[in-house]
Structure 1
Amino acid sequence: MHQEDLPDVLNIEAQGYSFPWSESVFFGCFRPDYRLWALVWGQRLSGYAVVAYMVGEAHLLNLCVAPAKQGSGGGRRLLRHLVLEAARDGMSQVLLEVRASNRAAIDLYAAEGFDVIGRRKGYYPAGREREDALVMALPLGG
C-alpha cells in the first residue's frame, strides 16, 4: 500500500467499521517497522492490511475488505500473504485482536491456524459501551 492509496483505503475503512481509523492514524503507519499491503481486485483497491513488527512479533492491527468483495476470499488472501511475509521476515508469531462479536473474522482466523490466547475487556468502542476483544496468535516456528 502507498500513501496515494489512502482515499480508497479510507472509503473502505468507513464502510467496514463503525469506528474507523482516521487518515492521520493511517499516515502514522508508513514507517519502517510497519508493513502495509493492498488487495487489488481487477483495477480497484478492494482491501488492505496493516501489520506492526514489534520485538520479533507481527501484530496485525487492521485487515479490511470492501463490503462488495467480502466472502470472495480476499481477506484470506491478505491474511495468508501477511503471515508468509512475517515468517520470511523472521517474526516468531502473528498476534491480533478481534471483536468478540465478529464471528466471520474469528472463524477465518481459526481456519488459518490462529488460537485464542486471551481476552481484552472493553478493548473496542461500541457506542456508549465497550466491546471485548479476543486475542489470537499464530506461531510461525521462527
Structure 2
Amino acid sequence: MKIPQSITTLESKSELKNNVNCTFSYIRVMQEADLDWVLAVENNAYDFPWSRQGFENSLDQGLNYVFCTLDHTRLGYCCMLPVLDEVDVLNICIVPQFQGTGVAKQAMQKVLDSLALADYKVVFLEVRESNEPALKLYSGLGFNKNGVRHNYYKAWVWDEDVCDLIEGKEDAILMLRSLQRV
C-alpha cells in the first residue's frame, strides 16, 4: 500500500500562541535529515522521549511524516508502523508552541484520509491515561477506546514516603479507528 509523498490542504488557519500566525498546509515524508529537529522537539515535549535509535528504526520500518506550513515551517511529526492492512500510531508530537491550535487535528485527519485511500482498514494507538487533550483529539477523530495497557508508560509519580516525584508507571488507553468506507 503506497502513501502519497505529500498531502496538501490550504483550508484552515490557526492562531498560534504568542501571536504567531500559521497555516497548516501539508504533510511530507520524514527524512533522516529531519532527525536532529525531531529529537529536539521530542526532548522538549516529553519527560520520557524516544531515543535517536527509536526514530532511526521507525524511518527504516514505518510511515513517518512531518507536518508543515506553506513556507515549510515544521509544526510536528508522527511515526506509524504498518502491518498488512493495519497501522499503529507509535508517536505523534506537535511543537509545544503550536499545541492547542488545531494543528494535530488537521494533520492527523490528513494522515487518516491518506491511509484510507491507501486501503488500510484500521488504525491503532495508545495514549497516556492522563493525556486528556490527546484523548479528546482522538475521540474527535473517530477513535474509540478499546482497552487498557496497565503500567505501559514511564511516568513521574508522587511518592508519599520520600515526598518527591519518582519514576513510576502510567496506564495507556488503547484506541482504534476503522478506516472502512461506508
TM-score, normalized by length of structure 1?
A: 0.94
1:13 corresponding residue in structure 2: 42
Task: Give me the whole-angstrom Cα distance separating, in 2, the residues matched to 1:108 and 1:17.
Answer: 18
Task: Give me the whole-angstrom Cα distance separating, in 2, the residues matched to 1:84 and 1:135.
Answer: 21
5+ residue gaps, structure 2:
1-29, 157-166
**Could you tell me the percent identity over the aligned residues?**
32
1:139 corresponding residue in structure 2: 178
- Count residues in correspondence: 141
CA contact (8 A) 1:49 1:78 kept: no
Q: Deviations over 1:3-31 (max 9, x none)?
A: 10111111110111110001111011113
Matched, 1:56 2:82: no
2:18 corresponding residue in structure 1: none
CA contact (8 A) 1:117 1:135 kept: yes
Task: Give me the whole-angstrom Cα distance separating, in 2, the residues matched to 1:132 and 1:25.
Answer: 21
Q: Deviations over 1:72-126 (max 9, x none)?
A: 1111122112211211221111100000000000000001111001000000011
Counterpart among 32, 40, 46 of residue 75 in structure 2: 46
Amino acid at match of 1:134: I
Task: Give me the whole-angstrom Cα distance separating, in 2, the residues matched to 1:45 and 1:61.
Answer: 19
Amino acid at match of 2:51: S
CA contact (8 A) 1:51 1:60 kept: yes
Matched, 1:111 2:150: no
Task: Give me the whole-angstrom Cα distance separating, in 2, the residues matched to 1:40 and 1:121.
Answer: 34
Using the TM superposition, give the Cα deviation of residue 139 of structure 1 relative to its aligned residue in structure 2, in angstroms: 0.5
- Look up the SS of the partner of 2:119 in the other structure: coil
Task: Give me the whole-angstrom Cα distance separating, in 1, the residues matched to 2:111 and 2:85.
Answer: 14
Task: Give me the whole-angstrom Cα distance separating, in 1, the residues matched to 2:59 and 2:72.
Answer: 23
Using the TM superposition, give the Cα deviation of residue 45 of structure 1 relative to its aligned residue in structure 2, in angstroms: 1.5
Which structure has the bigger radius of gyration? 2
The alignment's C-alpha RMSD in Å is: 1.3
Matched, 1:66 2:95: yes
Task: Give me the whole-angstrom Cα distance separating, in 2, the residues matched to 1:138 and 1:65.
Answer: 21
Matched, 1:130 2:158: no
Using the TM superposition, give the Cα deviation of residue 129 of structure 1 relative to its aligned residue in structure 2, in angstroms: 1.3
Task: Give me the whole-angstrom Cα distance separating, in 1, the residues matched to 2:38 and 2:68.
Answer: 11
Using the TM superposition, give the Cα deviation of residue 55 of structure 1 relative to its aligned residue in structure 2, in angstroms: 3.1
